[in-house]
Amino acid sequence: MTDYEVVSYTVSPVEGDTQIEVVINASDGNKWEYGIPYTPTGRYQFPEIDVLEVDFGGEFTEELTEKIEELVEKLTS
């Protein structure tokens, strides 16, 4: 694990696209931005989650994955 933590993050739909935007702000001032495409059936892939787990820990990535899955479900139902 690195010497920084998540200060804030957002998970939001991209208007007019079948994509979710994830923005993570870290305590060292860095910002991570991801676009996660999803299908109308609710499938998505986010392979970078493994890198985020190394950087920020399993607890954060579990929370982030739950938020992504909840939003995908909401957008596709």
Q: Quickly count: other Cβ atoms within 10 Å of residue 7's Cβ.
A: 13
Structure tokens at 48: 């970078």
pLDDT at residue number 67:
98
Distances (CA, A) of 57 to 20, 36, 49, 61: 22, 20, 10, 7
Walk along the chain (77 residues) and give the pLDDT tens digit of each residue.
556 799 999 999 999 999 999 999 999 999 999 999 999 999 999 999 999 999 899 999 999 999 999 999 999 99
Name the burial class of residue 12, with classes exposed (0-12), middle (13-18) and buried (19+) by CB atoms within 10 angstroms of its CB: exposed
pLDDT at residue number 4:
79
Q: What residue segments make up the domains of the chain, in order of their start?
A: 6-76
Alpha-carbon span 39 to 24, nearest angstrom: 23
pLDDT at residue number 2:
58
